[in-house]
Amino acid sequence: MDRKIWLMSPAVFLLLIFCVVPLFIMVYYSFLSDGTGGHWTIQNYMDFFQKDIYLKLTWKTVKMSFYVTVISLLISYPMAYVMVSIIQGGKNILLMAIIVPFWTSQLVRAYSWQNLLRDGGLLEIVLRKLHLIGSGPLGLMFTSTAVIIAMVHIFFPYMVITIYMSLEKVDGALVEASKSLKAGPLTTFRRIVLPLSKPGIISGCILVFVPSLGVFVEPRVLGGTQGTVIGTVIEDQFFEIYGWNFGAAVSFILLAIILLSMAVLSRFAKEEA
């Protein structure tokens, strides 16, 4: 074996101590009954599946994350495509512009959206000046739509960058070969560019969908009375009622959903590959 593999040991050590071990501690909690002197039980998992409300909130969160992923894809692909094939100079500036919002805290960004979307806010003023809406209030704030808008803004850069990376690797010679074989631009895109950029699309979808499942700040700040998601349940368990055992169980159910969705998406990537 190559000796250099030992160079990995600090990273492996950190991962073990700060990721794997805590995960097992959480598994332990999730199978523990409440109260002092708890014993082994699967009650925490049973509670989740026996009450409609947890399933309802999970389904709501999955749906919301799905919308966020699809909208992010629709925005990101054309953007990445243009950045790779049309724009010559200034790519780095564009990339920077995408990354800069990441330097602000998520909470601050959620509040900023409040200022834009609220009745009498910037968006309403602009739309009214353009005569796109009447004199009534915008009514966008404190709705699920507002949450999705803010989440797309937060997560779509992951998608742009992964797609950008995979599009950049597409060999120009293949595109030219396709053209020389009389394929129109659409056919070339459909049969050459799209399949080759698929790994980027898949990892982009994973990078957007997975963190979307765990959010709770944006739904609370922008979602109004409809802002409860499964992340809220976990937050409540850990910070409000110290139901660590049930909280851990819900976290693992969420993790299972994440792993499942990743498996499904990777299956897509393998097909036709």
Q: Kindly list the residues in this chain that would bind other proteins in the complex (CB under 8 A).
A: 34-35, 51, 53, 56-57, 60, 95, 99, 102-103, 105-107, 111, 114-115, 118-120, 141-142, 154, 157-158, 161-162, 164-165, 168-169, 207, 217, 220-221, 224-225, 227-228, 232-233, 236, 239-243, 246
The tokens describing 48, both together, are 């989740």
- CA proximity to 75, closest of 98, 93, 92, 91: 98
CB of 66 to other proteins, least distance (A): 18
Cα(211)–Cα(113) distance, rounded to whole angstroms? Answer: 19
The tokens describing 186, both together, are 């659409």
CB of 271 to other proteins, least distance (A): 23
Q: Which is nearer to other proteins, 236 or 269 (CB)?
A: 236
Task: Name residue, tokens 């609220």.
Answer: 118
Question: Is 213 in contact with 230 (CB distance < 8 Å)?
Answer: yes
The tokens describing 102, both together, are 């990441």
CB of 35 to other proteins, least distance (A): 7
CB of 78 to other proteins, least distance (A): 19
Between the CA of residue 52 and those of 42, 55, 58, what are the distances in Å? 18, 5, 10
